[in-house]
Each structure stands twice: as C-alpha cells, then as structure tokens.
Structure 1
Amino acid sequence: MSKNWLFVVMLLSLLLGGSLIAQNRTTPTRIGYVDAEKVVQAHKDFKKVQDIRNQAERELKPLRDQLQPLEAKLRAGNATAKDQQDYRVLAQSLQEAGKKWSDRTNAALKPITEEIDQVIARVAQQQGFAMILDKKVAATSGLVVYAADELEITDAVIKALPK
C-alpha cells in the first residue's frame, strides 16, 4: 500500500509541477500586420514577375482591342453571323492566353511568396507576434478596423529578405 501511495504522490507532483512549468512560458499574443504586396514587390526576383506580366500584356492587348468593336456590335444588336463567330473565336483565344499567362505568373510568384512567408514567420517570432495578417485583406474584409502603426512589420520583413 505504501508503494502505491508513494507512486500516486510522485505522479501528482510530476503532473502539477509540469503544469506549473508550462504556465511559466509566455505565449505571444500580439497580432501584427504586413503589406504583403509591398513585400513581394521588394523581393529581389520580382522583376521576373514584372517581365512576365509585361509579355502577357503585349500578347493580350491586341486580342482585347479586336474584341472591343465586336462586343459593341453584339450589344447594339448589329453583329452579323461572321461577327458573332469572330467574337467567339477571339474570346476563346483571349481566355486561353490569359490562363497561360496567369499560370506563368503564378509559377514565378510561388517561390517568392514561399520565401516571404518564411521571412514573415521568422520576423514575427523574433518580435513576439502570435499572428500576422495581410494589411489589405484585413482592411478590405472589415476584419480589422484599426491597427496601431507599431504592429506593422512590413519594413522589418523587407530588411530581412535575402539580397
């Protein structure tokens, strides 16, 4: 009986002692924000994304320019059968080209955003933040109505980006 009692006492002391130690650790509770778009634009590889977007615009603009007068004819009810066919073909071409360029842009952005996410996490931990929100998403969604300037870590993240 005394061995069981000793075991129970030791078990209780371990459980209580462990919970007291766990309570002594501070858990960050600060919530901050970052202008993700500004950080992405500051990344060393963002020029590649801009180049892809410029190429896309050069390819897509002529298609849009050809579609505009056909669309106006369709709306006005003056489109011939050939105009309608041309519109469908051009609209399909624009959609396919847009998807191609969107995929290329996303592929170029992916490694940039993954690296930025890691930098944000590191900066947030160093500065004692539990959570970081995207400034524009939080503001436009109505999720955040007010945030103090000192909670923004955009500049710190940009400084921490690899050169």
Structure 2
Amino acid sequence: MWTRILAALCLVLLTAPLSAQTKPRPWRVGFINPDIAIQAHPNYAKLKAVQEQAEKELKPLRDQIGQLSQKARGGPLPAKDQQSLQTLQKALQDGSKKWSERVSTVAKPLLEDIDREVRKVAEANGFQVVMDYKVAKASGIVVYAAPGTDVTELVVKELKK
C-alpha cells in the first residue's frame, strides 16, 4: 500500500515541473455580422435574385390577404370572401414553402463558404469561439465585446480572394 502511495507521490512530483512550464492559452471569443459576410460573397447576386423573385410572387398574395383581413375587421365576411381568403392563405403558404426551399438551396453554398472562412480566420487569429453578433446581443449573452473581437472584415477579405 505504501508503495502505491509513494509511486503516486513520485508521479505528481515528476509531472509538476512540466505543468508549471505550460502557460495557459488565452481564450478568445470573436463576433461576426453574417449579413455583411453574405452580402460580400461573390455569389450573393444569385441569392438576392431568388429572394427578389420570391418577393415579387408572394407580395400580391400578402396584399390581397391584408385587404380581406382589413375588411373582416369591419364585420363578418361574405362566404365568397371567406373562401377567397382561405384560398389566398393556402397559396401563400405553398408559395412561401416553395420559395423558402429555393432560397435555402441557393444560400447553402454561400453559408458553407462563409463557415469555412470563419473557421480559417478563427484558427489563424486565436479565436476559440466565433458568435453571430446580432444573436449574441439580442439574447443578452454578451454585454460587452472588446475592440478587435469582430472578425467580419477578416472573413470578407478571405471571401474576396
């Protein structure tokens, strides 16, 4: 039993100098504004075009639904208008789903590129964590961020290479 205790004590004494020589690595958190990074991506024009097509198709449906909803606030809608409202709502729901899938398909490669560049910038600059600035601020998780923690411009620079 004493032999085990002595062996453990020797092990602690032998490793103590090694751990004393190892300096703790500073822990850094960075922030990015993903909207700026997305807009800086070389293929952002494709994404914007799909978003604009979606808006062009869906806006008239939303406007018509808004008009019928406004009319409904004044009193019960006639059966014809109720049917129109239901049809428009279904069309908006189906159209929104269709366009959401199209936007996601076009956005996916952009987001993958941005994630890759964020990873490279973080590793090159000693950041262990990079957070979405707006999410961190809105959630209240981050109260203060020191200057030099925003990696957005570094990522944008990498995207343009």
- Do both proteins adopt the same fold according to a TM-score greater than 0.5, normalized to the shorter chain? yes
Identify which range, 138-147 or 28-37, moves more after superposition: 28-37
What secondary structure sits across from 2:148 in the alignment? helix
Q: Quick one: distance in 2 between partners of 1:55 and 1:94? A: 14
Residue 61 of structure 1 pairs with residue 59 of structure 2: yes
- Deviation at residue 25 of structure 1 after TM alignment: 7.1
Provide Cα deviations, 1:90-132, integer angstroms capped at 9, x if missing partner. 0110111011111111111111111111110110110011111
Q: Which runs of 5+ in 1 are unaligned?
A: 1-7
Return the match for 1:32 from 30, 33, 54: 30
May I ask how many residue pairs the two structures share in their alignment? 155
How does the TM-score come out when normalised to structure 1?
Answer: 0.83
- Deviation at residue 37 of structure 1 after TM alignment: 1.1
Which residue identity lines up with residue 61 of structure 1 in the other structure? Answer: K
What secondary structure sits across from 1:151 in the alignment? coil
Which residue identity lines up with residue 67 of structure 2 in the other structure? Answer: P
How does the TM-score come out when normalised to structure 2?
Answer: 0.84
Query: Is the CA contact (8 Å cut-off) linking 1:34 and 1:152 kept in structure 2?
Result: yes
Q: Quick one: distance in 1 between partners of 2:79 and 2:113? A: 51
Q: Which runs of 5+ in 2 are unaligned?
A: 1-6
RMSD of aligned C-alpha atoms? Answer: 2.5
Q: Quick one: distance in 1 between partners of 2:118 and 2:23? A: 23
- Deviation at residue 28 of structure 1 after TM alignment: 4.8
Q: Quick one: distance in 1 between partners of 2:136 and 2:125? A: 20
Q: Identity rate of aligned residues, in percent?
A: 42
